[in-house]
Homo-oligomer: A and B are copies of this chain.
């Protein structure tokens, strides 16, 4: 029996375990379509929504409820107050609908977690809305794999350091896995821990980051168990 390289594996949730960004993209299209009749020619409705989201991020934080409130504010702004209330209601319903959407797991996620959990402790670390993220992990049927589910305000080195202390693991025995270089990879490497990047086809522009680091990257989560064994064999 070989010793494993990592004691604890941290997993991001949105766009790492299940689809998320494609729902935001779909509701953004609904927003653009619903607002078209009310926005003066020459207004980039989608850009206004993204800018509103960004402007409110420090106040509202991440997640679907914040995004929905940003849609309401952007709709009023781009229509110069002419959008009918019933259309605003449709925007709120489109946003709130994301909160109760069935979780759509990425391929092989249940098998991968079952495999990893045989010889690692698993923690789920996600930004966003407490009620929404908790509902997703519970309705996914995957909650039992996780020793800890942490919904955090921001994924910075301080947050990861606190979680590592909480689960009592040294950085060199921790590996984080996620789709965002900005949130899942760089702050973890900054602590001296390990991280594996698994890109998702869509990335929220807020998560874009330029970096020079040579990162460990996989094409899909199904490659993760072998990659962690490999990490051990070559370490």
* Nearest opposing residue in chain B for A83, CB measure: B85
Q: Tell which of A42-50, A69-77, A116-124, A178-186 binds the partner.
A: A69-77
* CB of A86 to closest CB in B, whole Å: 4
**A60 proximity list for chain B (CB < 8 A):** 65, 96, 99, 131
Q: Please, what's the 1-or-0 string for A76-113, where 1 marks a CB less than 8 Å from any CB in chain B?
A: 10010111111011001001100110000000000000
Tell me if A226 counts as interface (CB < 8 A to partner B).
no
User: Which residue of chain B lies nearest to A73 when distances are taken between CB atoms in the complex?
Assistant: B92
Chain B residues with Cβ below 8 Å from A89 are: 72-73, 76, 81
Say if the beta carbon of A59 comes within 8 Å of chain B.
yes
A140 at the interface (CB under 8 A from B): no
- Copy number in the complex reads 2
B96 touches A72 (CB 8 A): no
Q: Are A82 and B85 in contact (CB under 8 A)?
A: yes
- The residues of B that contact A86 with a CB separation of less than 8 Å are 76, 81
From B59, B72, B76, B153, A134 is in contact (CB under 8 Å) with B153
- CB of A134 to closest CB in B, whole Å: 6
CB distance from A79 to the nearest CB of B (A): 7
CB neighbours of A66 from chain B (8 A): 65
A61 pairs with B130, CB closer than 8 A: yes
> What are 12 sample pairs from A and B whose C-beta atoms fall under 8 A apart?
A56-B96, A60-B65, A60-B99, A62-B131, A72-B88, A79-B85, A81-B89, A85-B88, A129-B130, A130-B152, A131-B153, A166-B166
Not counting A61-B131, A69-B69, A131-B153, a sample of 13 additional A-B residue pairs whose C-beta atoms are within 8 angstroms of each other reads A59-B100, A59-B131, A61-B129, A65-B65, A65-B69, A69-B92, A69-B95, A72-B89, A76-B86, A83-B85, A129-B130, A134-B153, A166-B166
- Please report A residues at the B interface, Cβ cutoff 8 Å: 56, 59-62, 65-66, 68-69, 72-73, 75-76, 79, 81-86, 88-89, 92, 95-96, 99-100, 129-132, 134, 151-153, 166
